[in-house]
Amino acid sequence: MDFSSKLLEQAVDEMSQLPGIGKRTALRLVLHLLKQPEAQTQNLASALTKLRSEIKLCKNCFNISDTELCDICANPARNEELVCVVEDIRDVMAIENTGQYRGHYHVLGGKISPMDGVGPSQLNIHPLIEKVKAGKVEEIIFALSSTLEGDTTNFYIFKQLEGTKIKTSTIARGISVGDELEYADEVTLGRSIANRVPFESSLKG
Amino acid sequence: MDFSSKLLEQAVDEMSQLPGIGKRTALRLVLHLLKQPEAQTQNLASALTKLRSEIKLCKNCFNISDTELCDICANPARNEELVCVVEDIRDVMAIENTGQYRGHYHVLGGKISPMDGVGPSQLNIHPLIEKVKAGKVEEIIFALSSTLEGDTTNFYIFKQLEGTKIKTSTIARGISVGDELEYADEVTLGRSIANRVPFESSLKG
């Protein structure tokens, strides 16, 4: 693209570094900002800068937080002996939205992926192992996505925990509530039969 | 959405004010920035702020520019008696990309749209009329999109120019080069027959 303004070009370049935003979309967004009151651009810029410089990770679970200990870890009503291992904060938000989980989380910050240069040391795996070895945890629930990377990460953590008496589980895989059987993939359908549950327990909701 | 951090919530809120960016996409973009080096966020924020506060509009054609007069208006090789009227800078870039236009532009900054509260006074129409009345322009090419708003804007300017001896034209509407006739809409196909051109002139490319 041929810009008539260096300032515009720079703004579009920076905007188009965001994932899924190409040059054309970036230009559309930047031109939109130019038509809005200057305050909107300033608010956006300062919110981003402030977030990036002041953001904290909860020292216990590595969830994004404004305080040293996140609201979930600081809540005495929650069961700290049950720890759900997730990839990032979006998973925490999704599980919290169900309103059905009262344990703690442990946010890994990603999955082991040699292709992307992400090894165990870049993730928050070590603090999880320490927490378990300190005897503070009774059960770990693996809730990573069931991809190659997710399974690798689960297995790596599982191996690291060998020798401890910790209980480990993974979230149930099966047919989504409301889905038609005929459209389900075989792996999911196979697992949902192998891991069938007593009929009475399905009545609870 | 239930955020564990006010800072994060603010950044997502501001980001999701951009057109076509919902809360989920905003969260994805913001989390991406958090994983990148802090410099990337700072560069984005400062490029946007700088653009918004320092941007100039060319005093002749209202194109976005870093200088008082944009590169096109400042170029003596270009024909200032031929003025192409467009909606915004993206249209300028599109026409410039063809490499086939050597005249000037006039950027209106929008189209007349009573539904969106945009009247003639919010657009750069008056300076265009002045330019014509000062006798500096020989021909105006209307290159707005052929929507109700575009046609209204063209017609408004056309009426304002009554009494002057200016030549006015609109860009040709017709079937795109390479397109199949059977998929063209009737209005376009009709116009492309009504406005047919001598066969020899189509050979020029």
**Structure confidence by residue, pLDDT tens digits, B58-107:** 999 999 998 899 999 999 999 999 999 999 999 999 999 888 899 999 99
In-domain check, residue B74: no
Q: Looking at this protein, which amino acid is placed at residue A148?
A: L
Are B103 and B43 in the same domain? no
Q: Give chain A positions within 8 Å (CB) of B17.
A: 40, 44
First to last CA, chain A: 55
Candidates B7, B27, B52; nearest CB to A55: B7
- For residues B122 and B116, the answer to whether their CB atoms sit within 8 Å is no
Q: Give chain B positions within 8 Å (CB) of A60.
A: none
* d(C-alpha A48, C-alpha B101), whole Å: 41
- For residues B105 and B92, the answer to whether their CB atoms sit within 8 Å is yes
Question: For residue A137, what pLDDT band results from cuts at 50, 70 and 90?
Answer: very high
Interface contact B15-A44, CB threshold 8 A: yes
Question: For residue A125, what pLDDT band results from cuts at 50, 70 and 90?
Answer: very high
In-domain check, residue B151: yes
Distance from CA of B134 to the nearest CA of A (A): 26
What pLDDT is stored for residue B204 in this prediction? Answer: 65
Q: Is the pLDDT of residue A131 over 70?
A: yes
Domain with B29 in it: what CATH number?
Answer: 1.10.8.420
Strand B139-142 to B56-57 pairing: unpaired
What pLDDT is stored for residue B128 in this prediction? Answer: 95
What pLDDT is stored for residue A33 in this prediction? Answer: 93
Averaged pLDDT for residues A168-176: 87
What pLDDT is stored for residue A204 in this prediction? Answer: 65
Are B46 and B109 in the same domain? no
- Cβ of residue B71 closer than 8 Å to a chain A Cβ: yes
The residues in A 51-70 lying below 8 A from B, measured between CB atoms, are 51-55, 58, 63-66, 70
Interface contact B18-A38, CB threshold 8 A: no
Q: Is the pLDDT of residue B146 over 80?
A: yes
- Cβ of residue B74 closer than 8 Å to a chain A Cβ: no
Per the structure, how many domains does chain B have? 2
Tokens of A54: 């002041």
* Closest residue by Cα to residue A89 from A56, A119, A117, A114: A56
In-domain check, residue A17: yes
Question: For residue A179, what pLDDT band results from cuts at 50, 70 and 90?
Answer: confident
Are B86 and B166 in the same domain? yes
Q: Is the pLDDT of residue B115 over 70?
A: yes
- For residues A130 and A166, the answer to whether their CB atoms sit within 8 Å is no
Q: Give chain B positions within 8 Å (CB) of A59.
A: none
Q: Residue A34's closest chain B neighbor by CA?
A: B52
Give alpha helix (H) positions in chain B: 6-15, 23-35, 38-54, 71-74, 89-98, 126-133, 148-160, 186-194, 199-202
Q: Residue B122's closest chain A neighbor by CA?
A: A35
Q: Residue B88's closest chain A neighbor by CA?
A: A31
What pLDDT is stored for residue A205 in this prediction? Answer: 53
For B161, the 3-state DSSP assignment is coil
The residues in A 139-198 lying below 8 A from B, measured between CB atoms, are none
Q: Is the pLDDT of residue B2 over 80?
A: no
* d(C-alpha A30, C-alpha A41), whole Å: 9
What domain range includes position A121? 78-171
Interface contact A4-B65, CB threshold 8 A: yes
Are A82 and A167 in the same domain? yes
Candidates A11, A43, A90; nearest CB to B51: A11
Q: Give chain B positions within 8 Å (CB) of A90.
A: 27-28, 31
Are B126 and B44 in the same domain? no
Domain with A92 in it: what CATH number?
Answer: 3.40.1360.10
- Count of CB atoms situated within 10 Å of the CB of A203: 7
Are A39 and A82 in the same domain? no
In-domain check, residue A144: yes
In-domain check, residue B189: no
In-domain check, residue A31: yes
| Ramachandran assignment for A75, one of left (phi > 0), alpha (psi -120 to 50 degrees), beta (any other) | beta
* d(C-alpha B136, C-alpha B82), whole Å: 9
Q: What is the DSSP letter of B182?
A: G
Q: Give chain A positions within 8 Å (CB) of B91.
A: none
